[in-house]
Amino acid sequence: MAEKNERGTNSGIIIERLRQKFGTEVLEMFAQAKDPTLHIAVRTLSNVYFDEKKNMIMLGNKTQKRTFFDLKDARKFMQTLIVANGCKNLIESGKTTSIRDLFYNTKHTIGDTKENTFDEQEESDPIIEDIEVSANALREELHLRAQSKGSMVGDLTIQDAGDTIDLRKMGSGGWAVPSIVEPDIVQFKECGAKFILFIEKDAVWSRFNEDKFWKKHNCIIIHGGGQPPRGVRRMLRRLHDELKLPTYVLVDNDPWGFYIYSVVRQGSINLAYESVRMAVPDARFIGLSSFDQERYKLPNEVTIKLDDGDKKRVKEILAYPWFQRKEWREELEHMVKKGVKLELEALSAKKLTFITDTYLPEKIERKEWLA
């Protein structure tokens, strides 16, 4: 029952939305011999737009029909209803679970056939996103957790599910950022940090942690293990909003790294409907810049040639409407012109701690960032 739910106050509303949209309405369509159809928001490039005022990627209002009596849709239609029902049960039980759990929970053989409701988790994951948008519910509100990756340490104390955690005493591994970091779970307490540093990679983050960068410079360091998961993105947004701290983003100098910066700052295509809660529109790009090789006289040996995939990606990115800022384009165009990319580790060619001793502090002091 909805009342059992200890977390959100929203539970009852979400269950009602799921019941209405995927239960009652669909049954009605069957009963009245209308084509049972679900309208699902399109979550591709064709249905996102860049809101210049908010500086965010937003979801448009294009929807696609998912009709039961259509061979190519029938299976997905069934899967959508199964997942909706699964979510409803989950909310009622008051438990949260991983999306992988939900996949196993809803996966079974259909009747006396040899077909499964789901074969791969890749089939159920996008459907969960469909339901989030359709029911206007956050993933957390559906009681679902994404795989958590990403760690955080810094001059901050937090409370997580009732436990007080001092992020200054997290050893070498840091505090694992959970998938759900909503205020009812995570609250911020004493904070001495002056800024937030988001680092693309785990390994580089470890360098910063080992060198106690956050202690020397009074900051919070956080990584998302590559493209950051929802939890990390939501955490960045909350840190920025609630602690009123500037956010710096440190990524590899390649199109993928730069795109991570853009996602942190203004959101992604697939989760455009989440930009409002996750994007940090004034996040600052601190490095690596395409101009850093010249600026820091890095030897040629540490560069890597751009491959075809990299070049193709640059072209793609430059075509996005939210990549029209002059400074951004210069970064990418210069990268192509040089024909090489740089990993964060390239700075170690100077000295192992160059990145923490010199590079970052200098950049911040000289305000050498893009926004």
Partner 1 sequence: MAEYREIAISEFFEKNKHLLGFDNPTKALLTMIKEAVDNSLDACEEASILPEINVSIQNPDGANFTISVEDNGPGIAKMHTARVLAKLLVGSKFKSLGEAGMQSRGQQGIGISACILYAQLTTGRATYIESKTKGEKMYSCHLQLDTSRNEPIITDEKLFESPKPHGLKVILDMKGVYRKVKGVDDFLKYTAIANPHARITFIDPEGTKTIYERVAKELPKKPKPVMAHPHGIELGTLIKMLGRSPSRTVFSFLMNDFSRIGAQSAKEICQTAGLDVQTRPNAINRDQAEKLLASMQAAKIQRPPTDCLSPIGEEELLKGLQKTYKAEFVAACSRPVEVYRAIPFQVEVGLAYGKELLPPDQLAELIRYTNKVPLFYQQSECAIYKAVVKTPWKRYGVPQSNGNLPMAPMVITVHVASVWVPFISEGKQAIASYPDIIKEIRLAIGEVGRKLQRHLSSEKKKYAQERRLKVFEKYGDEVATAISGLTGKPKAEVSEIVLKEIQRRRG
Residues making contact with partner 1 (CB under 8 A): 18-19, 22-24, 26-27, 30-31, 33, 36, 68-69, 71, 74-75, 77-78, 81-82, 84-85, 88-89, 110-111, 113, 115, 117
| Inter-axis angle of helices 326-338 and 308-319, nearest 10 | 160
- Least distance to partner 1 from the beta carbon of 23, Å? 3
Q: What CA–CA distance (Å, rounded) separates 102 from 289? A: 41
**Which residue, 21 or 363, has its beta carbon nearer to partner 1?**
21
Edge-to-edge strand list for the sheet holding 195-199 = 175-176, 151-154, 219-223, 195-199, 247-250, 284-287
**Which residue, 71 or 326, has its beta carbon nearer to partner 1?**
71
Burial of 59 (0-12, 13-18, 19+ CB in 10 A): buried
Q: What CA–CA distance (Å, rounded) separates 326 from 363? A: 20
- Least distance to partner 1 from the beta carbon of 106, Å? 9
**Which residue, 57 or 83, has its beta carbon nearer to partner 1?**
83
**Contact assessment for residue 21 and residue 134, using Cβ atoms and an 8 Å cutoff:** yes
**Which residue, 109 or 147, has its beta carbon nearer to partner 1?**
109
**Which residue, 40 or 346, has its beta carbon nearer to partner 1?**
40
Phi, psi of 114 (to 5 degrees): -105, 10
- Least distance to partner 1 from the beta carbon of 16, Å? 11
**C-alpha of 81 from chain center:** 26
Q: Of these residues, 104, 273, 320, 359, which one is catalytic?
A: 104
**Which residue, 75 or 168, has its beta carbon nearer to partner 1?**
75
**Which residue, 31 or 365, has its beta carbon nearer to partner 1?**
31
User: Is 296 one of the annotated active-site residues of the chain?
Assistant: no
Q: What CA–CA distance (Å, rounded) separates 264 from 233? A: 7
List, in order, residues 6 or more apart from 37 with CB less than 8 Å away: 29, 65, 66, 67, 68
Q: What CA–CA distance (Å, rounded) separates 99 from 143? A: 9
Q: What CA–CA distance (Å, rounded) separates 201 from 243? A: 24
Structure tokens at 163: 């436990």
Which of 282, 339, 307 minimizes the C-alpha distance to 55? Answer: 282
- Least distance to partner 1 from the beta carbon of 81, Å? 4
- Least distance to partner 1 from the beta carbon of 59, Å? 25
**Which residue, 112 or 301, has its beta carbon nearer to partner 1?**
112
- Least distance to partner 1 from the beta carbon of 340, Å? 52
The gap between the terminal CA atoms of the chain, to the nearest Å, is 47
Query: Rounded to the nearest 10 degrees, how much is the dihedral formed by the CA atoms of 173, 175, 176, 177?
Result: -140
- Least distance to partner 1 from the beta carbon of 31, Å? 5
What would the DSSP string read from start to end of 263-286? HHHH--STTGGGHHHH--TT-EEE
**Contact assessment for residue 293 and residue 342, using Cβ atoms and an 8 Å cutoff:** yes
Phi, psi of 140 (to 5 degrees): -65, -35
- Least distance to partner 1 from the beta carbon of 95, Å? 16
Q: What residues act catalytically?
A: 104
